[in-house]
Amino acid sequence: MNGKSLAHAMLRSASLLAPAGRRAEWLKEWRSELWYIPPDASARFCLGAFRDAIWVRRNQPRPRHLHLESPLSCLAFLAGVASLALLIAICLPAPELPDPPGAHLTLRDLPGGCLASLAMSLPWLAAIWAAMGPAQCWPRPGRLRLALFLLLKLALVQPVFLTSFIILLLTGPSLPILPQLLLSGTWGFSLRWILHDQQRRCPVCLRLLTEPVRIGSASETFLEWYGAESACSRGHGLLQVPETSATYAGARQWLALDASWNDLFSEAAERR
Amino acid sequence: MADAPRLSHTTAMILQAVAAGHIYGYTVMDVTGLPSGTVYPALRRLEQDRLIQSKWEQPSAATAMRPPRKYYRLTRIGETAIEASRKRYPLLASLTPAEEVRDS
């Protein structure tokens, strides 16, 4: 493989990291620039394409959260997914009941299965919680509400885990690795999503906070607070997430806003 | 001027290169000495923040023998930002103007 084809292969590989909707133009730009690069520098030039593609992927406009802003719509969505998972679980042959042959999982078996699934997901939950860094200190009145919401979300994903586990048991003998990977991925992704969603909720109304806004400058960490800030759309408060840990701002913190801010947020809500 | 965004030195250097007429990604790399993995994401971020805007070259006799390139130009916000950055980083002025300044 000569230098030119190596460079083109690198660009082609890097383009897979770019979002599909922007991939063609992204590749066109890098290929047109490559035309001007001396052959001995082309491989080094193309290495940067990987970083650029990752940047484009990470900074593409995010879709709104599937109307999951309110806590009720979030729980309704999870309940829908749980119902679908339960339906699949009931239709699948029950792998742990060989007698009588072809026995199916019944509704009576589901609570026990979900409890077992919950017990298995707790270590995962603890590990992901720890990996996500220090949690913010929520105000006392909101803690119970948030804890109940978290418990409900956890309960509603258990049917999904149970169904994944049944699929693993059914397909395990024929496909030795893939089901395990899929199961681990489903659990890891779901639990992480639950915790991530939890961290972006207002402790008062449980609605999703706005997209974070970057505040301050990295080069002035010692002079002013530096991080990202999200607001409750109802004006209940601000979530401040420091970019770097400092003695005066180590973890995320919730800044409750008093009633004097209500006018500002109600005007913004009317404009929306 | 108070509202001008504050840029890091590297970003200001890239913006200054564009302001000096180095309008292509590769020429920005060449004049700043920065690698492609730094320059291209920075150009995209500057464009996202509306400090520069990109356009593709129109097909012409000049581009018949080579692929058209994407080029970058400063916006008004970008001009304000680079003015502020020059005060903050006086050595930015040492970036020499390019000859390839494109007609609008």
DSSP per residue, A137-167: B--HHHHHHHHHHHHHHHHHHHHHHHHHHHH
Q: For a pLDDT cut of 90, what percent of chain B falls above it?
A: 49
* A135 and A249 fall within a common domain: no
Which residues of A fall within a CB distance of 8 Å from B25? Answer: 29, 33
* Mean of all residue pLDDT scores within chain B: 84
Please check whether residues A180 and A232 belong to one and the same domain: no
Give the angle subtended at the CA of B41 by the CAs of A14 and A51, to the nearest 5°.
35
Choose the most confident range, by mean pLDDT, from A112-121, A218-227, B94-103. A112-121
Q: Does residue A142 form part of some domain?
A: yes
- In the block, residue with structure tokens 């609008």: B104
Q: Is residue A148 part of a domain?
A: yes
The answer to whether position A207 is within a domain reads no
With beta carbons under 8 A apart, name residues in chain B contacting A47: 35-37
Domain range for A144 is: 71-199
Contact state of A59 with B36 under an 8 Å Cβ cutoff: no
Distances (CA, A) of B15 to A110, A215, A245, B1, B93: 61, 21, 30, 17, 11
A31: confidence class by pLDDT, cuts 50, 70, 90: very high
The pLDDT tens digits of the residues spanning A204-214 come to 888 888 878 87
| Contact yes or no for A47 and B45 at CB 8 A | no
Under an 8 Å CB criterion, which residues of B touch A? 6, 8, 24-26, 29, 35-41, 44-45, 48, 66-70
Whether residue B41 is contained in a domain is answered as yes
Q: At B28, which CATH number?
A: 1.10.10.10
Per-residue tokens: A204? 């008062």
Q: Which residue of A has its CA nearest to B63?
A: A32
Check if A44 contacts B (Cβ < 8 Å). yes
Q: Is the domain of A12 the same as that of A80?
A: no
In a domain, B81, yes or no: yes
Chain A closest-CA separation from residue B31 CA (Å): 14
Q: Domain limits at B19?
A: 9-91
| Burial of A53 from C-beta contacts in 10 A (0-12 / 13-18 / 19+) | buried
Is the CB of A22 inside 8 Å of chain B's CB atoms? no
Chain A environment of B37 (Cβ under 8 Å): 47-52
| B6, B40, B68 ranked by CB distance to A32: nearest | B68
In the predicted model, is pLDDT for residue A196 greater than 90?
no
Interchain contact, B66 vs A217, CB within 8 Å: no
Q: Rounded to a whole number, what is the distance in Å from the CA of B41 to chain A's nearest CA?
A: 5
Beta pairing, strands B70-74 & A213-215? unpaired
Q: What is the ipTM of this complex?
A: 0.86
Residue A88 clears pLDDT 90, i.e. is over it = no
CA distance A14 to chain B (A): 12
Q: Tell me the C-alpha distance between B79 and B81, whole Å.
A: 5
How far, in Å, CA of B95 to CA of B46, rounded? 18
Global confidence as pTM: 0.54
Count of A-B CB contacts under 8 Å = 59
pLDDT band for position B2 (50/70/90)?
very low
Number of structural domains in chain A: 3
What would the mean pLDDT of B60-66 be, rounded to a whole number?
A: 76
Residue B65 makes CB contacts below 8 A (sequence gap 6+) with none
The reply to whether B97 falls in a domain is no
Which among B26, B37, B48 has CB closest to A33? B26
- Nearest to residue A44, comparing CAs of A31, A58, A34? A34
